[in-house]
Structure 1
Amino acid sequence: MRTAYILLLCVLGAAMLSTVTCNNAIGPDQCCFSYYPRRMNKNVVVSYYMTENRCAKLGVVLVTKQSRRICADPSLSWVEGIMKDIDEKSF
């Protein structure tokens, strides 16, 4: 009787683990869960990209000269200014 309970518990555990593993593969690659709290100098930022719309928070990932990736709020004026400067430099 105990063997049947242990077997049932193992089967349920494996089923739960497989659903968690499958859900992780479907999600977006990178999301912003918190934003950088301070203003950045626009001269250290070399590029940016937006997070996917499947993320809970919309964000801008600013890439610095040292290849650091920093999440920022796209609605802030200083972030919009950095994005505008980078876009103008690329043309």
Structure 2
Amino acid sequence: MRSLMFLLVLVIFCSLQMTSNANAKCCMEFTDVKIPVKQVKSYYWTSSDCPRRAIVFHTIKGKDICVDAETPWVSGHVAIVDQRTRV
């Protein structure tokens, strides 16, 4: 009886872990196009549970655009958006 109860708890725990990872928004594709910084309203980092960390730029038109965080122009855009939101 104890082993059955342990197995049930283990299955529930594993199910919860799989569900939490499924809810994480991850980027499967990245754009190579440099987005004009004036079009970027905000940004956020993807979850550390994702296969590749990325930055998602949210545009003034309401689109979410995934970009590789290692792309050279991205850090400049992030700095400008941060500066805009601080003021």
What's the TM-score, normalizing by structure 2? 0.73
1:52 CA displacement: 0.6
Give the alignment partner of residue 20 of structure 2, picking from 23, 26, 32: 26
What fraction of aligned residue pairs are identical, expressed as a percent?
24
Aligned length: 72
**2:78 pairs with 1:83:** yes
Kindly state the Cα deviation for residue 47 of structure 1 after the two structures are TM-superposed: 0.1
Where structure 2 has 5 or more consecutive residues not aligned to the other structure, the ranges are 1-14
Give deviations 1:29-61, integer Å, cap 9, x for gaps. 200111111111000000000001000011000
Structure 1, unaligned runs of 5 or more: 1-21
Whichever residue aligns with residue 59 of structure 1, its letter is: A
Moved over 3 A (4+): none
Q: TM-score of the superposition, structure 1-length normalised?
A: 0.71
Tell me which residue corresponds to 2:57: 62
